[in-house]
Amino acid sequence: MKVIGITGGVGSGKSEILTYLKERTNCRIIAADLAAHELEEPEGACYRPLVELLGERILGPDGRIDRGKMAAVIFSDGELLERVNGIVHPAVKTYIMEEIARERLAGRYDYLFLEAALLIEGGYGRIVDELWYIHADESVRRERLKASRGYTDEKIDHIMRRQLPEEVFSEHCSVVIENGGPLADTYRQIDEKLGEGSCQKH
């Protein structure tokens, strides 16, 4: 089983590519954001530490963490955000490493694709076999974010300022998938790359 990390800036189109990979290969996909959500459930490893740190004000009526409430609490407090990340990020990484080990042992899949915005910052390059950078020009990404999520320029600026510059993505990733044009062109690039490993579904 080959483990491939999928990363790229906001609006680069990672979700569409993961959907295509799911259809095209015998694979499992792990999204770090979804893993974090699972770990924040009442039975998850992050639940109790987060409630102890932030208080019951972050809980909804059902006793589960309300991510909207939690975001409001930590939004303007950099130190608190760091402490939350210090709880969530290591737990997510442990979960991912355990899942990779479990899938390698089970031998069910040809690929495991790991998607996260912070793969490089989180040191996942040492865990995966290959890092793919999904690239689209900033102007394209901005238009996508406005159209699909209704983001304002101000919100997009805020998000992009916190992300790695293109040269850092390129430096750390051995594969670059250009996703700024027609999806057919993106799919062709993926097919060519997957063809090298000859593990496509037929």
DSSP secondary structure letter of residue 4: E
pTM, two decimal places: 0.86
User: Distances from the Cα of 62 to the Cαs of 13, 47, 66, 193, in angstroms?
Assistant: 34, 14, 9, 46
Fold match, 1-26+110-194 / 33-108: yes
pLDDT number for residue 197: 56
Range 33-108 has CATH code 3.40.50.300: yes
- Please report where in the chains the tokens 């924040």 appear, as a residue: 40
Phi-psi region of 198 (alpha: psi -120 to 50; beta: other; left: phi over 0): left
Q: What percent of the chain has pLDDT over 70?
A: 97
Residues 53-76: pLDDT tens digits? 999 999 999 999 999 999 999 887
Q: How far is CA 137 from CA 86, 150, 178, in A?
A: 32, 19, 9
Whether 198 shows a pLDDT value over 50: the answer reads no
Domain locations in the chain as residue ranges: 1-26+110-194, 33-108
- What does DSSP assign to residue 126? G
The whole-chain average pLDDT of the chain stands at 91
- Fold of domain 1-26+110-194: Rossmann fold (3.40.50)
* CA nearest to 34, candidates 16, 62, 13, 15: 15
